[in-house]
Structure 1
């Protein structure tokens, strides 16, 4: 089995990118298309905060070329709750809002949990069981980003594997770097870009992430996103990693 490596950033609307990534004079409505021309993936952040219309997803899909994929950040109303087993209605609302309109541009769904959320096997297991395998005929892939050390537990890793969910590998100063089992795709969030480094990460670190991705792609698709950190540098980091992969 083998897949494709996609490298991207978080979103596409950010003021600082208009001075160091987007060409001068580019219209805001053309920024997504520009991302699609130069990178191979991006995370949709708007879906974390509120629902979007089916027509919006369809327009996003049309703006990018074949092969480009969106990772869709799941609703905070599904993940930021005390009892995850009660998230069924929020999960259904999120998956049913029109994400299927992305079609073959739909990458993984990112379920992000707060750093204060601890591992409760029964509750988290119930949550994973509610994640649908498809919506409107479109297959769904799920990735869970946990940010508390209690999830660094074989029971959690086995639970995620059995549910077919990837465990996000986070490169972050405080979040745990947890390596999940092979579920057919890999999801990396690289969050330590530095403002004083033109490409966010040093060349050696970029090369290391490219090597890791090249190894993981033997098991399926790899999604590597430069997120947070020195956000202004994230497009340059993504472009540098794509160059390293070539």
Structure 2
């Protein structure tokens, strides 16, 4: 697709026991699962970072196991979003930045900030948090140097080049259906995650120059798959967004006309429990004429 942003279709996580012998070939060592998955999909979300700080060595290992043009989306710590609930986030944010997320270099993609379902929109608190977010690797390294002693390993605050950092926020409460929220995201250049689920708002407001989608299940959270018609609809949205043609088939908190511009697209399937995530991701890639090329990439998997 000419004059389009990049399109990265992937999965949320890669270490799932039910995938062994079904998605992963029987007998594939667990240590090679990321290498296998990363040669089928252009991007994968790292889930472990949500539950606790990782180490620079872990990030380095993951980067080494994946192709050169691969991208990781990184889930930010629930300690900031769920436990602290954005209260006094400066030091925890520094710890996160120092934990090794800069180690993958060009393979670091969007940082996902997932709010809990009972977290309501608070404009003052949210803006104070957004002001702290670093938007390039130099700012992230400077932030990392303000860490405390809660890291699992030695702090990592080095960069080999100045690169942009992208942030995306996933909301799960109706109070965020507010144009003031959308305006804040646009002001601080943070993407609103388009989260497809029957349990939370699915807002499609475009607030940055990239689009971040998470598909959690069309009928049942984390479990149900996507039929052919639903995947056709998502393929149409992906094409339109990447080519700078905003879609109007969803729900919006703000009706303001957005700038027509090509946008990079990240879409992750999180409906893992019934083995549908990998199937749905591959099907969507085929509909977008992306999978044949990635099959060739997979021929070089270890």
* Matched residue count: 243
Report how far residue 85 of structure 1 moved: 4.3
Of the candidates 272, 277, 284, which is equivalent to residue 234 of structure 1? Answer: 277
Match status 1:152 vs 2:183: no
Q: TM-score, normalised by structure 1?
A: 0.93
Equivalent pair of 1:158/1:181 in contact (CA under 8 Å): no
Distance 2:206 2:108 in 1: 22
From the two aligned structures, give the one with the greater helix fraction: 1
Larger Rg: 2
Give the aligned partner of residue 225 of structure 2.
Answer: 200
Once the two structures are overlaid, the 10-residue window that deviates more, 107-116 or 72-81, is: 72-81
The list of structure 1 runs, each at least 4 consecutive aligned residues, that deviate by more than 3 angstroms after superposition, is 228-231
From the two aligned structures, give the one with the greater strand fraction: 1
Spell out, residue by residue over 1:174-214, the C-alpha distance to the aligned partner (whole angstroms, 9 max, x if none): 1001123341100001111579xxx9211111111111011
Equivalent pair of 2:9/2:42 in contact (CA under 8 Å): yes
Equivalent pair of 2:121/2:176 in contact (CA under 8 Å): yes
Distance 2:10 2:50 in 1: 18
Once the two structures are overlaid, the 10-residue window that deviates more, 87-96 or 74-83, is: 74-83
Match status 1:245 vs 2:270: no
Unpaired runs of 5+ residues, structure 1, are none
Unpaired runs of 5+ residues, structure 2, are 142-161, 244-261, 290-302
Q: TM-score, normalised by structure 2?
A: 0.77
RMSD: 1.7
Distance 1:23 1:82 in 2: 41
Give the aligned partner of residue 108 of structure 1.
Answer: 110
Seen in structure 2, the aligned counterparts of structure 1 residues 229 and 37 have a Cα distance that, compared at 3 Å, is closer
Specify the SS of the correspondent of 1:93. helix
Report how far residue 95 of structure 1 moved: 1.6
Give the aligned partner of residue 254 of structure 2.
Answer: none
Report how far residue 108 of structure 1 moved: 0.0
Give the aligned partner of residue 212 of structure 2.
Answer: 187
Give the aligned partner of residue 97 of structure 2.
Answer: 95
Of the candidates 133, 143, 166, which is equivalent to residue 131 of structure 1? Answer: 133
Specify the SS of the correspondent of 2:214. strand
